[in-house]
Amino acid sequence: MSTFPSPQVLLTDLLQRPSVTPNDAGCQQRIAELLQPLGFVIEHLPRGSVSNLWAQKGEAAPLFVFAGHTDVVPTGPLEQWDSPPFEATIRQGKLYGRGAADMKASIAAFICACHEFLGDFPEHQGAIALLITSDEEGPATDGTAYVCEQLQERGLTLDYCIVGEPSSNQVFGDTIKNGRRGSLSGHLRVLGKQGHVAYPQLASNPIHLLSPALQQLCDRMWDAGNVDFPPTSMQISNIHAGTGAGNVIPGYLDLELNFRFSTEHTPATLQAEVEGILHQHKVPFELRWTLGAEPFLTPEGALSEALKAAIQAETGVQAELSTTGGTSDGRFIAKICPQLIEFGPLNASIHQINEHVDLADLEKLKNIYRRTLENLLC
């Protein structure tokens, strides 16, 4: 019988697979090969070009789920990397490669934690499952969202879920994400009239029309947040107008904006406030809204307490709950799981050139996941 890989060996294997969204590059097949001998029933649930894996061992309650993604963001300029991003290079105790922190380290730690736990506690309570997708860094429509729909149709109840997102901030183990703000995007088109810059009376400049309203939008404090969420924020991510010629007043302006919103607002209230400001300044506009995610929150409970205790025992760090940061696939799982939190390695290098994970943290991460299983299923 072959030896089960260590977290470092497994992570190295996964990093060497160029699984840029939505390509899984064989990661989930390798995961299935390791889980099946442990007693997991493997289901591959592809949709379109996306690979999804649901692996479950046992059917008793409570059902504990590890969730994550094998896909990674593009590498960016290869010449800026100190070592090839898909070669998994070790330097000064750190393992470098695209996806090391976000989030193949957590997946390697999940699997090795399950192996150790099942070896030590074959008669444990409840059931264990893994939900893995290759669509988290992309549109996120054919991945976790799709699998959750399938599980819901089966009437399957998820009791606990840890998403392996890189949650640690300053020190490994310092932050557990127990919720996320919502995400609301808007595409605004301001309608003007094209003309010659020397004859502004014959044209209508959309840049000038928008400027007072844009200043008010940027200066506005949308809310102060609350005990669970930081304040709602708005950012302009793209703005474009003009033909490229210096003597032409543009006929329209396109602008992209995004809200990360707390539970002090709803998508409807934010839309109404933005459109109200535009109307107030008599801006002629078209505005298309896209809701990326509703905010979700897991109150303190058995899962967060079990994970906190595991982190404290393994690292001596007292973890804090937080809802900061961007969106994650947790927004889909939270609809079918009452206790969902996110925990993983340091997030300082994610999506960056020379992304990496500390090998000492990788071993601790595996132990924390194993201890959490022990705290809840033994």
Q: What are phi and psi of 49, to 5 degrees?
A: -90, 5
Is 196 annotated in some ligand binding site?
Answer: no
Q: pLDDT tens digit string along 138-160?
A: 989 999 999 999 999 999 989 99
Q: pLDDT tens digit string along 95-124?
A: 999 999 999 999 999 999 999 999 999 999
Catalytic status, residue 264:
no
Nearest C-alpha neighbor of 12 from the set 101, 74, 69, 97: 97
pLDDT bin (cut points 50, 70, 90) of residue 2 is low
Is 137 annotated in some ligand binding site?
Answer: yes
Q: Which of 24, 71, 294, 361 is catalytic?
A: 71
Percent of the chain past pLDDT 90, that is, above it, reads 97
When pLDDT is averaged across residues 159-173 and rounded to a whole number, the result is 97
Mean model confidence pLDDT for the chain: 97
What is the dotted CATH code of the domain comprising 7-180+295-377? 3.40.630.10
Instruction: Report the predicted TM-score, pTM, of the whole model to 2 decimal places.
Output: 0.90
Q: pLDDT tens digit string along 13-42?
A: 999 999 999 999 999 999 999 999 999 999
160 CA to centre of own chain: 18
- List, as one string, the DSSP characters of 101-122: IIIIHHHHHHHHHHHHHHHH-T
Provide the pLDDT for residue 204: 98
Catalytic status, residue 275:
no
Q: pLDDT tens digit string along 116-134?
A: 999 999 999 999 999 999 9
Is 69 annotated in some ligand binding site?
Answer: yes
- Alpha-carbon distance 96 to 99, whole Å? 9
Helix (H) or strand (E) run with residue 356 in it: strand 356-358
Is 342 annotated in some ligand binding site?
Answer: no
Q: pLDDT tens digit string along 209-236?
A: 999 999 999 999 999 999 999 999 999 9
Is 102 annotated in some ligand binding site?
Answer: yes
When pLDDT is averaged across residues 363-371 and rounded to a whole number, the result is 98
Which class would CATH give 182-292? alpha beta
Q: Which of 59, 82, 87, 136 is catalytic?
A: 136
Which residues of the chain does CATH 3.40.630.10 include? 7-180+295-377
**With 50 as the cut, is the pLDDT of residue 1 above it?**
no
User: Do residues 90 and 15 touch, judged by C-beta distance below 8 A?
Assistant: no
143 CA to centre of own chain: 12
Which residues of the chain does CATH 3.30.70.360 include? 182-292
pLDDT bin (cut points 50, 70, 90) of residue 326 is confident
